[in-house]
A and B are shown apart, each in its own frame.
Chain A
Amino acid sequence: MDISKEKLEWIYTTMYRIRRFEETMLEQTLKGNSMGVAHTSDGQEAPPTGICAHLTDKDWIGSTHRGHGHCISKGLETDKMMAEVFGKATGQCGGKGGSMHISDFSKGMLGANGIVGASIPLAVGAALTAKLKGIENESVGVSFFGDGASSQGVLHEAMNLASVWKLPVIFACENNGYAEATPSWYAVSAEDIASRAEGYGMPGVVVDGMDVFAVYDAAGEAIARARAGEGPTFIEMKTYRYHGHFHADDTSKYRKPEEEEYYKNLDAIKHFERTVLKQKLMTEKKLKSIRDDIEKEMLHAVEFALSSPMPDISTLYDDVYVNYSNPIAGLR
């Protein structure tokens, strides 16, 4: 396997961190410690991990309502992420964004987005910046979106733009089989969403989104193309979300237990563990020490979020504009 030991450790750490962050966040949300709606991505660890393994802070990603895995893969700190979900002043966005809008511009994370598909052209814009500044080799744009967003017009506009302008973009489609409760077999006209790439003049590949090595390889090729100035690639990763569309969604109303069981047998983390142990690339001891560290990190993240202060009420009015001459406090 052509992956360094450090990279393998990073991949396992990242996938396990996503898994445990989502489980911990869901538990805390159900306890009432979070302040609103949260969408979990456990089960879908392989796509963001396998892609972001090739990126640096100079590369940009656009994300979705189900964005925690993207954030973690891009290197955001779980303390500040958990605090943001809890609506605290120490959160990544000072409590202004919440679960659906976590961002970190210092890490190349353009922000998660609550409108399905709306962040896709942002990644295209980041790639346009790279092209205009002549830094395509070090700054690509990755747009994460799901099978639901594949039906949004703006995706198709963005694919056409990226192709005609030959921009360094990766269209990273996480097909988890469901747009909210609607199955993709009902709502998506093509067997493979990636087949649509051909119509926009770019390569489209389908990979097993439960296999981080498959994602890693496909992403490596696509990102190398982008960095070489050869334009965009569409990667469809067939994956599965273990929990509901949002924290209070009961999947038993629209998914069969056999189906859920089937995907849990394909679990991306277990698949990774089996593979590296079989090929003697990592030891069980190392895997366990990574898991133990993550458990401690999650305890710390919850403690940090719980003990953090609420934002000052006066911050309500901050950052609507860089500057604005009229009062914005409203009329009372």
Chain B
Amino acid sequence: MTTSQTNPLGPGYEGVAGSEMRFRDIFRDTLRAEMNRDDDVFLMGEDISGGFDKDTKEPLDAWGGPFAATKGLVQEFGVERIRDAPISEAGFVGAAVGSALTGMRPVVDLMYFDFVTVAFDQLLSNAAKSRYMFGGQTKVPLTLFARSGAGTGHAAQHSESFYSMLAHIPGLKVVVPSDPYSVKGLLAAAIRDDDPVFLVNDKKLINLTGFVPDEDYVIELGKGRYMRRGADVTLVGMSYTSVVCQKAAEQLAEIGIDAEVIDMMSLSPFDEDILIESVAKTNNVVIVDEDTPRASMASEFAAVIADKAFDHLDAPVKRVTSPHSPVPYNSALEQEFMPQPADVVGTVKNLLGRE
């Protein structure tokens, strides 16, 4: 997506040194860079190195983390800072909160996003509330990440996208990168942030490639970005649906509809201004979210647009979401479950009264 109309890296990035990288590789490089940058950063999770030699007790790095996200890091940083955990999400997320309260900056790999619920009390009651209920005495510089999303045959309990549940919690922050550029900037920002931040990676992004600047940078939490400029309709994406929106925009362009694509990047806090600014220009908006529709981010963005940009709207705010159902296993059902570019195109055509 680097046409003359679009510059995902934003103004000021023309001619910047960098390279095409896979999402998974820049994710690991960013973890490494942050661990080198700050000795208080350490990583915990299940099989983040994976396997130990029974005789020498040395780590085997057999897995290198779910989806090999942390491969090689244990050789660089050792087993203290690349800390394989038993399957005890509540226990080790709680321990991470305790460690954050006492001066460290833990990073927790929760593997599949669905596993959030197993540790939910620690996130809600301890990570999110400690600063407030203790009257500002403390802070919780904790980062968590996990893989979300359908489309990979992982079925109902390994495919959730309910990031709206986390965004609902005062005290937590939630970010959703959508490409290699954004995961580098958001992961670095999350680890350096003094509040608990959950970074949700859609599995469908992990092997995608994209341009990543070499330089050290962070993306400000709470800022969205324009992936494509257009005049007729605003498509709002988050996580993988930002990719869906870009594909839809390309198809719309072929039939003469000029779509603008916003990638929210942060869900809590989130960028109200970019939503209002874009809708003020295009007067039409479609929000695309792989989360289920009830009390979702799509609903929240729709409410903000209805509240603050009502006079700019030519038509009702539209949402394209997954159905109110668990994620199915069968691939045909699963494809139907997920918002597809064709769904977005169809919704836009209806919205604009185009056949």
Contacts and interface: CB of A to CB of B under 8 A. Distances in A.
Interface in B256-294: 268-270, 272
B35 to A, nearest CB: 12
B335 interface: no
A157 B98 contact: no
A132 B80 contact: yes
A324 B269 contact: yes
Interface stretch (A24-32, A99-107, A272-280): A99-107
B222 A326 contact: yes
Contacts, number: 163
A48 interface: no
Interface in A108-160: 110-111, 113-115, 118-133, 141, 153-154, 157-158, 160
B69 interface: no
A154 B91 contact: yes
Interface stretch (A1-9, A13-21, A34-42, A89-97): A89-97
B195 interface: yes
A245 B42 CA distance: 40
Given A125-B95, A125-B97, A105 B134 contact: yes
A163 B136 CA distance: 32
Contacts of A164: 86
Interface stretch (B10-18, B99-107, B226-234, B316-324): B99-107
Nearest to A94: B135
Contact of B136 (A114, A132, A165, A319): A319
Contacts of A123: 98
A94 B133 CA distance: 9
Contacts of A95: 135
Contacts of A110: 98, 101-102
Interface residues of A, number: 54
B137 A104 contact: yes
B135 A129 contact: no
B91 A160 contact: yes
B132 A319 contact: yes
Given A121-B122, A125-B99, A96 B132 contact: yes
A239 B81 CA distance: 40
Given A115-B125, A122-B101, A141-B98, A322 B91 contact: no
Nearest to B93: A121
B250 interface: no
A125 B134 contact: no
Given A124-B94, A154-B121, A157-B90, 14 more contacts: A91-B135, A110-B102, A115-B121, A118-B122, A118-B126, A121-B91, A122-B97, A122-B101, A124-B98, A125-B95, A157-B91, A157-B94, A161-B92, A324-B195
